[in-house]
Amino acid sequence: MIRLFQRGDEDRIDLQDPRSIDRWMPLVSAVRAYHRYEVHGLDNIPREGGALLALNHGPVPIDGPLLGATIYQDQGRLPRALTDHLVFKMPIMRELFLAVGAVDGRREMAGELLGKGNLVIVMPGGAPEAFKSSARAYELYWRQRTGFARVAIQNQVPVVPAACIGIDELYKVPFDMFELGKKLFGVRSMPFPLAWGIGPVPKPAKLDHFIGAPIPPPPPGSEDDADAVLEYRDRCVDAMEGLIAHGLALRDGRKRLADQGEDPSP
């Protein structure tokens, strides 16, 4: 039975329930099959110790649970996720997030999890990246953010870039919903909800996760050096953009082969 949310639960790291995760695995497997989900470079995920798994953010970030489940099945490690505080204001959604180990996405929470050797999933682009127009698919908003880089330096853990190709194709987003949401609702992270796939159901786009090599942080104390933080942030962005370019090139190559009637499989 899922534990009902109580105020302050978003600040606890002891509510992840492996039994709930095991119960949800059949659904995860169905979603994996629907999107023909594959992970490339799984060996780049550290098998012990803390690390930030940095993902690009789509309008419906189902790639996070899919990657987490894959790591769980392969390594027995249960990644934790940092999520927007607004999630914890949504009944049912917040209980589900808590059961799988999500916490409020504050630096203190990230530090507590990393200090205990957890793999922590973060999407540095946040809501602005998630709800951007489809015309800006796969564009990262990370160069506007330094928090994830500072957390990695402060806790002396690597950032592992994980680019999901297909995540921006599940729904058609006609315009920047985040910016319109700010104007209409006056709430920083509330997007204007207009997007469509097959109606409300996501399109069956193939999802491929490309995991890059861990990027070690600069020396301890560098989190107070603005230039060091920016340089590390840019290294992470460059690595992620390289993974995205590689993944898109592979996808487009497969599509060309399929259009020509050839076998697109490797």
Instruction: Quick: pLDDT tens for 93-117.
Output: 788 888 888 898 889 999 999 999 9
pTM: 0.90
Q: Residue 224 pLDDT > 80, yes or no?
A: yes
- The larger pLDDT score, comparing residue 245 to residue 198, is at 245
Q: What is the largest CA-CA distance in the chain?
A: 57
Q: What is the mean pLDDT of residues 70-96?
A: 87
Q: Residue 59 pLDDT > 90, yes or no?
A: no
- The larger pLDDT score, comparing residue 93 to residue 180, is at 93
Nearest alpha carbon to residue 76 among 132, 15, 21, 28? 21
Specify the pLDDT at position 90. Answer: 80
Contact, 174 vs 209, CB < 8 A?
no
211: phi then psi, degrees, rounded to nearest 5 = -100, 125
CB-count exposure of residue 243 (10 Å: 0-12, 13-18, 19+): buried
Q: What is the mean pLDDT of residues 20-36?
A: 91
Q: What is the mean pLDDT of residues 106-129?
A: 93
Distance between start and end Cα atoms, the chain: 43
Q: What is the mean pLDDT of residues 209-220?
A: 98
Contact, 237 vs 143, CB < 8 A?
yes
- The CB-side HSE value for 236 (13 A sphere, CA atoms) comes to 39
Specify the pLDDT at position 185. Answer: 67
Query: Mind telling me the catalytic residues?
Result: 57
CATH number of 9-259: 3.40.1130
- The CB-side HSE value for 117 (13 A sphere, CA atoms) comes to 5
Q: What is the pLDDT of residues 147-169, one digit of tens each?
A: 999 999 999 999 999 999 999 99
